[in-house]
Amino acid sequence: MTTSSRPRRMVDVSGAEALYLLGGSSHGRLMYEQRDTLAVGPASHAVEQGRLVVRTPALSWRFSGRVSVTYHAEHIHRDSGAGWAVTVSGRAEPITDAEEDAHYRRVLSGWAPGPHDTLLRIHPQSVNGYRFAQSVDMP
């Protein structure tokens, strides 16, 4: 709940700005289809050289090639309601290169001790972002 009585506004941002905003955060939610239903789980992420990599607790299904996923993160100030939200949808693939795997396991926080999680590279097919702000009072 916001404590301010000023009206808020939501502004679309470009895909490039949305990925920039995502780079200023480290946690979000990974959404994927599992047994004909939508599953949502916690994930940490990194945006490096235009690539989105997520680390999420071990998924209960195995990847066979690429699968479609959606990743969402936001940062919204509790009192003012100002902030942003970004949603990225696209094909995901597990990271199989040993050096890249080791790099992202150092960079991204895990969810359980040991290798009990999955590293995925998401190839964005759509990127939607919004900034939230308080409206400027009109004279």
From the list 88, 95, 85, the residue with the least C-alpha distance to 24 is: 85
Which of the listed CATH numbers 3.90.1150.10, 2.30.110.10, 3.20.20.110, 2.40.50.140 matches domain 11-131? Answer: 2.30.110.10
pLDDT digits (tens, 9 = 90+) for 24-43: 899 999 998 877 888 898 99
Amino acid code (one letter) for 100: E
80 contacts 97 by C-beta, under 8 angstroms: no
Expressed in percent and rounded to 5, the helix, strand and coil fractions of the chain are 15, 55, 35
Reported pTM: 0.84
Amino acid code (one letter) for 38: L
pLDDT digits (tens, 9 = 90+) for 124-136: 999 999 999 876 6
The residue-averaged pLDDT of 93-102 equals 92
Residue ranges of the domains in the chain? 11-131
**Residue 124: how many other CB atoms lie within 10 Å:** 16
Q: What does the buried/exposed string (b/e) look like for 23-42 if buried means 16 or more CB atoms within 10 Å of the residue's CB?
A: eebeebbbbbeeeeeeeebe
The residue-averaged pLDDT of 3-30 equals 86
